């Protein structure tokens, strides 16, 4: 008898790898992943052990030679920046002004998001990413359409309309009151939809937000129990300018005053934070997204991953496309191994952060992140033993949504 309360719908036979913790990785060279008729994990074990317990008539997909892993969790990525990659030579603030803001302004025309979003989600899925925390643009309509398309594609997303009411080109600024009203509408429409779509209140970063906007955005996320996501302390220049504009000494304490800190708050980059700030963020059980490929590309610096670990702060990995040049979480892991010392980051921790750790950072580890019985069967199939190739198939919550091998 199988332990699941639901009948098994299908079973995958392949090499299987998943994380139970930061240094606890389970591997079955010849494994079975059994999925029930709801699309949840019924069992995951060695073929030898599990096969005698399977119902006689159950469908077995023989994927021997491939690896199955939990779908990657990308904790920080920008949908409108799909085609803005590899614009090198500038650091963050100049890069935003020269390349990113003009590209994002084009999303005023809904045709732009209709064109970009399907390709963006296909890129995520084809790299085995089944869950992502996404920044859209300042446009209400584009964000609404982006949610619709994510829904069609079957992805699990945390997403939000980007909020900016100062210090950016005029065509990307909106009055705070309008942004908050639009955010509330989108949040009501999409948060929790189909159990896979979640709203994240998304002020871009302190430089482009007035204190009033940040405070109301923070309160909205807090009161509505939705996510809150933003960039934090990515470059020295950004921190200095934020201090000048908002007259604070301590970036984290400033966010605390604006009601922006909670267990559902997700901060990208977090390179230039002192111990006092890390203590505050840890105290509120905030999460972080580590974006090493982006930090290397824009020469922003290196996240103090060892200290973040010491403070017990949940931390996932982010591709941060388009500052990050790749959707490959494997490359993001590799990059983290290059930039951090071995005692702070190793391959196991990288794999954990890209899967279960990311799910923990998004407070979704009761639903996804590894192959524990009862979680959603979000998984990716990689075509070689190093997981280095593209995913052949991404399987999201019980539905095969993408397959390179059959050209769909």
Can residue 153 be called a binding residue for ligand GUN (CB under 6 A)?
no
Q: Find all residues with CB under 8 Å of 345, minimum gap 6, and list them.
A: 305, 336, 337
Instruction: Name the helix (H) or strand (E) containing 251.
Output: helix 251-257
Choose between 174 and 204: whose C-beta lies nearer to Fe ion: 204
Among 153, 156, 204, 311, binds ligand GUN (CB under 6 A): 204
The site for Fe ion, by CB under 5 A, has a size of 1
Minimum gap (Å) between residue 381 Cβ and ligand GUN = 30
Name the nearest CA neighbour of 288 among 345, 213, 233: 233
Tell whether the torsion through CA atoms of 244, 247, 250 and 253 is positive or negative: negative
Residue-level length of the chain: 408
Q: Is the link from the previous residue into 322 a cis peptide, with omega within 30 of 0?
A: yes
Minimum gap (Å) between residue 208 Cβ and Fe ion = 13
Can residue 392 be called a binding residue for ligand GUN (CB under 6 A)?
no
The rounded distance, in Å, linking the Cα atoms of 383 and 138 is 38
Choose between 277 and 320: whose C-beta lies nearer to ligand GUN: 320
Q: Tokens 């990311």 label which residue?
A: 358
The rounded distance, in Å, linking the Cα atoms of 244 and 282 is 25
Choose between 71 and 160: whose C-beta lies nearer to ligand GUN: 160
Partner that binds at residue 96, options Fe ion, ligand GUN, none, CB closer than 5 to 8 Å by kind: ligand GUN
The rounded distance, in Å, linking the Cα atoms of 304 and 107 is 35
Can residue 139 be called a binding residue for ligand GUN (CB under 6 A)?
no
Among 47, 107, 205, 254, binds ligand GUN (CB under 6 A): 205
Among 17, 231, 259, 264, binds ligand GUN (CB under 6 A): 231
Can residue 294 be called a binding residue for ligand GUN (CB under 6 A)?
yes
Partner that binds at residue 221, options ligand GUN, Fe ion, none, CB closer than 5 to 8 Å by kind: none
What does the block give as tokens for 300?
């922003």
Q: Rule CB under 6 A: which of 84-113 touch ligand GUN?
A: 92, 96, 100
Partner that binds at residue 234, options Fe ion, ligand GUN, none, CB closer than 5 to 8 Å by kind: ligand GUN
Can residue 290 be called a binding residue for ligand GUN (CB under 6 A)?
no
The rounded distance, in Å, linking the Cα atoms of 397 and 377 is 5
Choose between 20 and 84: whose C-beta lies nearer to Fe ion: 84
Can residue 74 be called a binding residue for Fe ion (CB under 5 A)?
no
140-153 and 176-190 helices cross at what angle (nearest 10)? 20
The rounded distance, in Å, linking the Cα atoms of 89 and 124 is 26
Q: Rule CB under 6 A: which of 29-58 touch ligand GUN?
A: none
Partner that binds at residue 293, options Fe ion, ligand GUN, none, CB closer than 5 to 8 Å by kind: none
The CA–CA distances, whole Å, from 180 to 163, 172, 209, 266, 390 equal 8, 15, 12, 19, 39
Minimum gap (Å) between residue 81 Cβ and Fe ion = 8
Minimum gap (Å) between residue 59 Cβ and Fe ion = 41
347-354 and 329-339 helices cross at what angle (nearest 10)? 140
Q: Binding mask 119-158 vs Fe ion (x if CB under 5 A, - otherwise)?
A: ----------------------------------------
The rounded distance, in Å, linking the Cα atoms of 218 and 202 is 10
Partner that binds at residue 259, options Fe ion, ligand GUN, none, CB closer than 5 to 8 Å by kind: none
Choose between 92 and 315: whose C-beta lies nearer to ligand GUN: 92
What does the block give as tokens for 353?
């952060």
Q: Rule CB under 5 A: which of 290-329 touch Fe ion?
A: 320
Can residue 216 be called a binding residue for Fe ion (CB under 5 A)?
no
Name the nearest CA neighbour of 396 among 35, 20, 13, 32: 35
Tally of CB atoms within 10 A around 1: 5
Q: Rule CB under 6 A: which of 323-342 touch ligand GUN?
A: 323
Residue ranges binding Fe ion (CB under 5 A): 320
Binding site for ligand GUN (CB under 6 A): 78, 92, 96, 100, 204-205, 231, 234, 294, 320, 323
């Amino acid at each position: 008898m199988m332990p699941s309360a639901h009948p098994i719908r299908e079973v995958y036979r392949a090499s299987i790898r998943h994380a139970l913790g930061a240094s606890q990785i389970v591997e079955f060279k010849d494994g079975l992943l059994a999925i029930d008729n709801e699309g949840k994990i019924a069992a995951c074990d060695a073929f030898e052990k599990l096969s005698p317990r399977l119902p006689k008539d159950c469908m077995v997909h023989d994927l021997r030679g491939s690896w199955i892993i939990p779908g990657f969790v990308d904790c920080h990525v920008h949908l409108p920046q799909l085609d803005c990659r590899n614009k090198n030579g500038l650091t963050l603030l100049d890069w935003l002004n020269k390349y990113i803001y003009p590209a994002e302004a084009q999303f005023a025309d809904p045709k732009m998001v209709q064109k970009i979003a399907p390709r963006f989600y296909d890129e995520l899925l084809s790299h085995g990413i089944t869950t992502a925390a996404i920044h859209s643009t300042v446009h209400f309509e584009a964000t609404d359409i982006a949610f619709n398309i994510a829904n069609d594609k079957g992805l699990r997303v945390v997403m939000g309309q980007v909020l900016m009411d100062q210090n950016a080109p005029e065509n990307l600024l909106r009055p705070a009151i309008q942004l908050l009203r639009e955010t509330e509408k989108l949040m009501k429409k999409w948060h929790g939809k189909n159990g896979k779509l979640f709203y994240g209140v998304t002020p871009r970063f302190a430089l482009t937000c007035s204190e009033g906007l940040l405070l109301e955005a923070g309160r909205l996320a807090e009161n509505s129990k939705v996510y809150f996501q933003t960039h934090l302390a990515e470059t020295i220049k950004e921190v200095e300018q934020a201090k000048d504009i908002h007259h604070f000494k301590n970036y984290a304490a400033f966010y605390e005053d604006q009601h922006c800190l909670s267990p559902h708050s997700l901060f990208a980059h977090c390179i230039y934070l002192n111990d006092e700030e890390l203590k505050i963020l840890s105290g509120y059980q905030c999460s972080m997204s580590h974006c090493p490929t982006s930090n290397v590309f824009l020469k922003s610096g290196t996240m103090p991953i060892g200290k973040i670990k010491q403070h017990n702060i949940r931390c996932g990995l982010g591709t941060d496309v388009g500052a990050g040049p790749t959707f490959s979480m494997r490359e993001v892991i590799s990059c983290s191994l290059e930039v951090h010392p071995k005692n702070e980051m190793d391959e196991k921790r990288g794999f954990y952060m890209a899967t279960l750790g990311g799910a923990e950072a998004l407070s979704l580890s009761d639903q996804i992140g590894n192959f524990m019985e009862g979680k959603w069967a979000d998984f990716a199939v990689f075509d070689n033993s190093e997981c280095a190739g593209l995913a052949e198939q991404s399987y999201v919550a019980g539905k095969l949504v993408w397959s390179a091998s059959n050209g769909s």
